[in-house]
Amino acid sequence: MDSIARLKPHIVVMASGRGTNFQAIIDASKSGRLLGEVVGLICDNPNATALDRAERHGIPSVVVERKSYPSRREFERQLVSVAKSFSPDLIVLAGFMWLLGKTFLNEFPEKVINIHPSLLPAFRGLDAQRQALDYGVRYTGCTVHFVDEGTDTGPIIGQRVVPVMPDDTEDILAARILGEEHSLMIECINAVLDGKVKTDGRKVIIYGG
């Protein structure tokens, strides 16, 4: 059975909320556009819509709540244990709202990527769309990056540019960015799983890209 399962690399998704990027990854997998197979969802929020998406598509899911553990280290140790149970080749943070530290990241070097709704290094952290509107930029976008211990500070794999319109609200801008997030995430996942992505310090080199 393991040889059959390994016909495609294993992808584990970590999410906290709606799971729209999680759904995009599932759809790409089912349509054959994704090089990997989604084998599990890890969620810190027992009420997350992402869990419903996993159930509908027959994807195993595990809830690991931060409040159930006395320290961040113990919380991350449990996340490591659950993630390893899926034998991941790549871990994708798709709206996972906790900052991961050494306890988790050291177990999966260059195997954890994240999607963020801005053109990093601009507008890191929460409410990136609101930050962009408040700053008055003409363009923003989305970024897929490797995860390090900082807040949206890891080496950048790919980015997409999105215009900011004069009458944009936070929700309208977020929706425009989200449309680009879905395709960028799939593109970057495939590049990483295909062995085309190498890091040289902060620089990410994509071969054949």
Q: Rounded to an integer, what distance in angstroms lies between the CA atom of residue 85 and that of residue 82?
A: 5
The arithmetic mean of pLDDT across residues 68-83, rounded, is 97
Residue 208 — very low, low, confident or very high, per pLDDT cuts 50/70/90? confident
- With 0-12 / 13-18 / 19 or more C-beta atoms within 10 angstroms meaning exposed / middle / buried, residue 12 is buried
CA angle 181, 186, 190 (to 5 degrees): 145
**H/E run at residue 37:** strand 37-43
Residue 115 — very low, low, confident or very high, per pLDDT cuts 50/70/90? very high
Tell me the β-bridge partners of 145. 114, 156
Position 155 scores a pLDDT of: 97
The arithmetic mean of pLDDT across residues 121-135, rounded, is 97
Residue ranges in 36-150 assigned as alpha helix (H): 49-56, 72-85, 102-105, 128-135
Domains and CATH numbers, the chain: 1-109 (3.40.50.170), 114-209 (3.40.50.170)
Catalytic positions: 116
**197: amino acid identity, one letter:** V
pLDDT at 79 over 80: yes
How does pLDDT run across 24-72, given as a tens digit for each residue?
A: 999 999 999 999 999 999 999 999 999 999 999 999 999 999 999 999 9
In the chain, the percentage of residues whose pLDDT exceeds 70 is 97
